[in-house]
Structure 1
Amino acid sequence: MMLPRGKDFLPPGPLRSGHVQTMLSSSGVRRLLLPKRAQTVLQGSEPVMVNGGDGVRLTGAYTAQRSHPQSRGLAVLFHGWEGSVDSTYVLQTGSRLLADGWDVFRLNFRDHGDSHHLNEALFHSCRIDEVVHALGDIAQRFPMRPMVLAGFSLGGNFALRAAMKAQAAGLPLSYALAVCPIIDPGEGLFSLEGSAPWFYQAYFMHKWRRSLQAKQAAFPHREYFELAELKQNLRGLTAALVARHTDFESLEAYLDGYSVAGRALADMHVPCTILTARDDPVIPVDAFEKLELPANVELDIASYGGHCGFIRGWDMTSFTDDYIAARFNAVTA
């Protein structure tokens, strides 16, 4: 079976800009222009409260496929930082997988979507254990096999770390795919501050501050951050998060805590694919080229695509839908 490769993605001229791809990927314009089939995963979806262990509650949505006589299996999708189960790219991918006969579960990380009120402690990127526990709960509730996983950006980083922990946790995970995952958080944070245009940091900071305000409103008796801390840049506010809400001794230790750089994935037992774009302005491609990967982890670097864009044309559909579906379907071949 010939699977699509990153080199196959060749968008029309105006869409060969990594910045255009990145800005369109989560834009309201894209959601308006997408065909209706890109949101079919919302039809008949069931809200689900998931057990993250130690009293942690996470939310998600499950949609059973109806297009095939028998389900291919269960596909779990992870959104990116400050995204949600209703992010455009999650709905679009979920809808495509549903059409191909997969049952689809979309998981919200802590404090994403409308879940700020469920857990008093703040989300941070090293909370992998609750996500792995949640995957175990999902696997028990929806025992379709095989179980496959895809994540985008920070969700791709979580997907890779979950796959690393799958065997020890007893997860029945057959395959994982990460689109433009964060590899080296320290390098990624520095690139947003330095080499990336200012509006990327402004965009993420606006969404993060809005999320923190929602958290504060849900738990008014807590003081999560002082006003002066909220006015800091990405590095400053992240350092305040580490000092106030984690046990890490420094910002660097925290960033290392969710890094998958270098040899971090060398002992991966679950077959995986990492798809990224050379023109991604958010996650530097250098980190991908330095990875030391085992034979069961495929690294695919496309020339174009931006950060989680891979938009094929003016209908705003994404190459990643075909890419993910083909690899998931190959698991059942």
Structure 2
Amino acid sequence: MPTPAVARLDIAPCPVPRWLPGGHAQTLATLFSSYHKIHFVRDRVETPDGDFLDFDWSGPGLIARRSLQDMQPGQSEGLQHGAAARWMEIDDWTALGTHSGIPALILFHGLEGSSASPYAQSIAQYFRARGWIVVIPHFRGCSGTPNRLARAYHSGDSEEIDFMLASVRTRLPQVMWHAAGVSLGGNALLKYLGEQRQDAGWLTACAAISAPVDLVASGRSLGRPLLPRHLYSRVFLKTMKAKVLEKARRFPGVIDILRLEHAHTLQEFDDAYTAPMHGFRDVLDYWTQCSAKPLLGQVTVPTLVINARNDPFLPAQALPVAAECAGSILLHQPDDGGHAVFPTGNFPSHQGWLPQRLGTFFETGL
């Protein structure tokens, strides 16, 4: 069957509970909704620029929580934060990759996320329970250990996505790799797919969840209204500013501390640090160059792009439409779901709908 010229559109609803009305309530449901917790085994990979990235792995045969007598000395050192229980050993790779054709998922987390984030936990648990290998690479500084360089991570770092994908493919070349990204990680993945086109064809299928594909519209949505500015920006900035101030102490004169300390929105933070540190002229240049939306027409890998129309992080009018996207893309845009939560079920709700939606797409393309 020939690939359609434009994307397909799915508007099937996410069955959000009636007692969670509106995008803000559905987004904040992540604070109390239930999900199964999962532990990982961590692998640290050195980067070409002298830094490191931490990859958290789970899969059939890989036992994360061992008894104390089975643990090697130092196996839990440096793992006080996040969901990793121990460090990877040589024998663990054999346990993970003994058979070819096993399905595997690499999941890119969102802004200030990690393998301990509720969405990462619920997705990892779902696929792990079905025999998949799951790996969650951490963007620099997000695994609980400060990265070595003055730089951090950003919404359009295709080079970093490429390195992460190449790293897991090198580790387990015989499995059937799928990729998914949440929020910032989803935008970065989509941008990479649009730029790489045929070179990303080794991926079986991909998904982007609540990706802010128009970063200008997203940044303004989070910065201007009073409620999002206090609900979300303040939470993100608390950890982001602390990390960058720690970098400023290690790299004196490199970071404009005064501007950083006076940043009260993500726009001001990105203008003071993210943009200049990562080679952009200013925040508008950064947001414009790194938005994935203009590249959606060039994606060749089968890809699910799911955004709730009431997502507080991206206005509905900024969502991609079918005519802007390649035929390899399925747009799913339910009216409800909030940002990267899609809560369902009885109180206090759960986060099981999203991983099931991903599973359906990866298995059937629908």
Which category describes the TM-score, using the shorter chain as reference length?
0.7 to 0.9
For these two proteins, the number of residue pairs brought into alignment is 316
Q: Corresponding residue for 1:148?
A: 178
| TM-aligned CA deviation for residue 84 of structure 1 | 1.1
> CA-to-partner distance for each residue in 1:134-172, whole Å, 9 max, x for gaps?
211111102243110111111111221232345565662
Matched letter for residue 336 of structure 2: Y
Counterparts of residues 40-59 of structure 1 (less than 5 Å):
40=38, 42=39, 45-59=40-54
Counterparts of residues 204-223 of structure 1 (less than 5 Å):
204-216=236-248, 219=250, 221=252, 223=254
Matched letter for residue 337 of structure 2: G
Q: Unpaired segments of 5 or more residues in structure 2?
A: 1-9, 63-95
Matched letter for residue 295 of structure 1: G
* Contact 1:163/1:176 (8 A) holds in 2: no
* Equivalent in 328, 348, 358 of residue 324 of structure 1: 358
Moved more, 188-197 or 68-77: 68-77
The alignment partner of 2:25 has SS state of helix
Moved more, 232-241 or 87-96: 232-241
Q: Corresponding residue for 1:300?
A: 332
* Equivalent in 8, 13, 19 of residue 24 of structure 2: 19
> CA-to-partner distance for each residue in 1:172-204, whole Å, 9 max, x for gaps?
212110111011111111111224613222222
Question: Share of identical aligned residues, percent?
Answer: 22
Moved more, 269-278 or 283-292: 283-292
* Equivalent in 26, 39, 49 of residue 37 of structure 2: 39
> CA-to-partner distance for each residue in 1:5-54, whole Å, 9 max, x for gaps?
652412221123211111122x2x33xx43xxx223x1xx3211234434
Counterparts of 2:320 and 2:41, CA distance in 1: 40
* Equivalent in 148, 155, 173 of residue 118 of structure 1: 148
Counterparts of 1:277 and 1:170, CA distance in 2: 27
Counterparts of 1:268 and 1:170, CA distance in 2: 9
| TM-aligned CA deviation for residue 62 of structure 1 | 1.1
Q: Unpaired segments of 5 or more residues in structure 1?
A: none
Counterparts of 1:6 and 1:72, CA distance in 2: 31
Per the normalisation by structure 2, the TM-score is: 0.78
Counterparts of 2:206 and 2:187, CA distance in 1: 11
Matched letter for residue 260 of structure 2: E
Q: Corresponding residue for 2:81?
A: none
Q: 1:196 to 1:172 in 2, by over 3 A?
A: farther
Matched letter for residue 307 of structure 1: H
* Equivalent in 269, 276, 291 of residue 300 of structure 2: 269
* Equivalent in 57, 60, 69 of residue 62 of structure 1: 57
Report whether the alignment pairs 1:78 with 2:78: no
Counterparts of 2:109 and 2:195, CA distance in 1: 19
* Contact 1:77/1:149 (8 A) holds in 2: yes
Counterparts of 2:273 and 2:251, CA distance in 1: 18
Matched letter for residue 49 of structure 1: R
Larger radius of gyration: 2
| TM-aligned CA deviation for residue 306 of structure 1 | 0.5
Moved more, 90-99 or 10-19: 10-19
The alignment partner of 2:53 has SS state of strand
Report whether the alignment pairs 1:232 with 2:266: no
| Aligned-pair Cα RMSD in Å | 2.7
* Contact 1:110/1:119 (8 A) holds in 2: no
* Contact 1:49/1:59 (8 A) holds in 2: yes
Q: Corresponding residue for 2:314?
A: 283
* Contact 2:188/2:292 (8 A) holds in 1: no
Per the normalisation by structure 1, the TM-score is: 0.85
Counterparts of residues 79-98 of structure 1 (less than 5 Å):
79-98=109-128
